[in-house]
Amino acid sequence: MVTRVYETRIAAPVEALRDFHESVEALVKLTPPGTKVEIIGEDVAVREGALHVLRIRQGPLTTVWKARLSEVTENGFVDTMEAGPAKY
């Protein structure tokens, strides 16, 4: 399995970043223009083991993306794609 790790440094308090990423609004603000993301799963909490299910539409293409959360701490979390558009 290929593992990709991305890191970004942001000049903001950790608490503000955590609050942002735990909100549904973050998904809207982080989605590129021309892409529509819809939450179709009922589990939207940021907690260990949560499964987030999204429908992503970009032009005529639609895919379902399933991401499992792990390593949830006060400073972040890991989301692992269980199903989606990329090979894993």
In a domain, 30, yes or no: yes
Residue 21's nearest CA partner among 81, 64, 72, 62 is 72
**Pairing between β-strand 61-73 and β-strand 76-83 as defined by DSSP bridges:** antiparallel
| Number of structural domains the chain divides into | 1
In a domain, 9, yes or no: no
In a domain, 5, yes or no: no
pLDDT at 88 over 60: no
Measured in Å, how far apart are the chain's first and last C-alpha atoms?
A: 6
User: The whole model's pTM is what?
Assistant: 0.73
d(CA 74, CA 18): 7
Enclosing domain of residue 73: 14-83
The partner residues of 63 in beta bridges, in order of sequence, read 56
52 vs 76: which has the higher pLDDT: 52
In a domain, 27, yes or no: yes
| 22-40 pLDDT per residue, tens | 877 787 788 888 899 888 9
